[in-house]
Chain A
Amino acid sequence: MPRYETFDHTADLGILVFGQTYEEVFANAAFALFDLLTDLDNVRESLSYRLHVEAHDQEELLVRWLSELLFLCESQGYLFKNFLFTQLSQTSLQAVARGESFDPLRHQFKTEIKAVTYHQVAIKEKDGKWEARVIFDI
């Protein structure tokens, strides 16, 4: 099973994320974000960053989680590829993201993602597997 696939939106880009668990779908969504931004093969895991996110429901939590990561990427130049959760519920999460800082000699941005949108955001469990969809404004 792939971790995610992209789907088309005339102006933008959506991701359909898969996971065996609720937790895995959150990790894979974050992976998808950075995989779209840059070539993750060139990213080392030399840095850890702790995140704490809160929201009203699981959909908003997913959007806020990805927005937080996008902000860190744009403001600090962090590229993450690995995500572990120390706590995860419907309305809050604590996570450790691993990766490194952007290095113009080794890294390249593939796409600019302006924002993670709430449009048609969804997370659901189907036959014991999890699936989420998010649309990025690019």
Chain B
Amino acid sequence: MSNKEKIHLEKIDDYRWRIPRTGKMRVDGVIYADEILLKDIHEDESAKQVANVAHLPGIQKYSLAMPDIHWGYGFPIGGVAAFDWQEGVISPGGVGYDINCGTRLLRTNLSIPDLRAKIRDLVNALYQNIPSGVGSKGALRLSTQELRQVLKQGTAWAVKNGYGSPEDLDFTEDRGCMEGADPGVISERALERGMPQLGTLGSGNHFLEVGFVEEVYDAQLARVFGLSKDQVTILIHSGSRGLGYQVCDDFLKKMGERVRQLGLELPDRQLACDFIRSKTGQDYFSGMACSANYAWANRQMLMHWTRQVFERVLQMSPKELGMRLVYDVCHNIAKRESHTIDGKLREVCVHRKGATRAFPPGHPALPEAYRSVGQPVLIPGDMGRYSYVLVGTQVAMQETFGSTCHGAGRVQSRTQAKKASKGRALHRELEDHGIFVMAASRATLVEEAPEAYKDVSQVVEVVHQAGISQKVAKLRPWGVVKG
């Protein structure tokens, strides 16, 4: 970028940095990072984006960024901002194109030795049975009528149609269904893009990963989540596919017009927004909820097929396998939540764009099984290193509207990653590290090379040290299906 602008950051402590309010900013910005990550943040314009978000009407307390912050459209990726439900705005750029992009984790009764001889067969079978890749289409042919039901009901639709069990609902954020979803606000185009793609993984950074628990940091918490050392796990990362992208696009256009009408002064066109209480604001919220529900149904179907593949390849019963959903979290979303602000409980719209909800012990939104310990938080890393399971905390509730990081964040652009991998056999390199990968295209594999990402442990260390979530376990990838 040519127009780099250094933003002045004041150190609060080793893990918190303030962007003091200047000009038309309504609140300060706060970035969670250590000195090392801060250097990456200064490489792009993301700190400026944190300051830009602070300009929006109705923003509460701070414009926040998690340590995996990087440059996004309008809002930075890794950005968290809450707006007053009555007087604040909602912004599609604060959610992102892939609405309810998220992660789900399954535990199993298997441990490493049970899979050693079968991992290749398993990954091959997963690759064959789970549609992935650019523009991938599912095996399902839905009518518009059925698709509307998916948009209204989310995971419940999937369970009703034979994908998984009712128990899965308990372990999905919002029970896999956001309220207020009205398919009436979804454009024909979004329906058309979404129709053939339900039950597909997609491409890019989306994946399905068989791995194992490499390290447990908190044995008691791990036990509550059903996790133990050397246990085989499955991590699924996908979102709302073309439907969500189109909903975002449709509403960016509508809100761009509203910004003009309202005469709102915005530092960036991609920050287009409207008041939550306005017609466009309400319609976007409904459309976003529809997309979120689509994504939950999608991940539920992907999980169902994963379970089936395990049963078939390993010749084991569901009971023997014990493939229970640990949790499903979304990391691109705007939610209506209650938070304490200046000592008062207030309704806000929390935007989490590349950030994960991290609710503390005792929060009513948590399933009973986890209520005494807090919400599981899933942080996928790159395919060569590791992913983390964390738990939400009271500090997150006080400081970050119950939010934490979402992943590693890129450090290399796709072109840089391509250059760096020229002439290398990435497949082989990964296999030498004990990671077996099936990818729909070599291009994706190369772009998603481990070194293109920050070391996720650095990111996790910051949120752990800052106290906005706590480490529970580390997962290591073993067999990976990439889109």
Contact = CB atoms under 8 A, between A and B. Distances in A.
Specify whether A and B are partners.
yes
B97 A115 contact: yes
B404 interface: no
Nearest to A55: B253
A106 interface: no
Contacts of A12: 414
A67 interface: yes
Nearest to B205: A11
B441 A10 contact: no
A62 to B, nearest CB: 13
Contact of B71 (A9, A64, A67, A118): A9
Interface residues of A, number: 29
A117 B193 contact: no
A116 B73 CA distance: 11
Interface string A103-138: 000001111101111110100000000000001011
Contacts of A9: 1, 71, 413
A121 B246 CA distance: 19
A74 interface: yes
A35 interface: no
A13 interface: yes
Contact of A75 (B133, B192, B268, B270): B192
Contacts of B131: none
Nearest to A71: B189
A119 B193 contact: no
Contact of A110 (B73, B193, B272, B443): B443
Given A110-B443, A137-B73, A137-B97, A118 B414 contact: no
A128 to B, nearest CB: 22
A74 B135 contact: yes
A115 to B, nearest CB: 5
A6 interface: yes
B331 to A, nearest CB: 14
A11 B189 contact: no
Contacts of A138: 204, 414
Contact of B252 (A10, A114, A118): A118
B79 interface: no
Interface string A44-82: 000000000000100010001001000100110000000
B426 interface: no
A114 B133 CA distance: 13
A60 B269 CA distance: 10
Contacts of A56: 256-257, 260
B77 A11 contact: yes
Interface residues of B, number: 44
Contacts of B44: 10
A47 to B, nearest CB: 18
A13 B257 CA distance: 26
B71 A11 contact: yes
Contact of A112 (B134, B270, B272): B134
B77 to A, nearest CB: 7
A41 interface: no
Given A111-B134, A112-B204, A114-B98, A67 B414 contact: no
Contacts of B199: none
Nearest to A102: B135
Contacts of A109: 133-135, 441
Contacts of B252: 118
B67 interface: no
Contact of B73 (A67, A112, A117): A117
B249 A67 contact: yes
Contact of A10 (B71, B253, B443): B71
B351 interface: no
User: Top 3 A-B pairs ranked by shortest CB distance?
Assistant: A8-B413, A109-B134, A112-B134
20 contacts: A6-B415, A9-B1, A9-B413, A10-B70, A10-B411, A11-B70, A11-B71, A11-B77, A13-B415, A56-B257, A75-B192, A75-B193, A109-B134, A111-B443, A112-B483, A115-B97, A118-B256, A119-B268, A137-B73, A138-B414
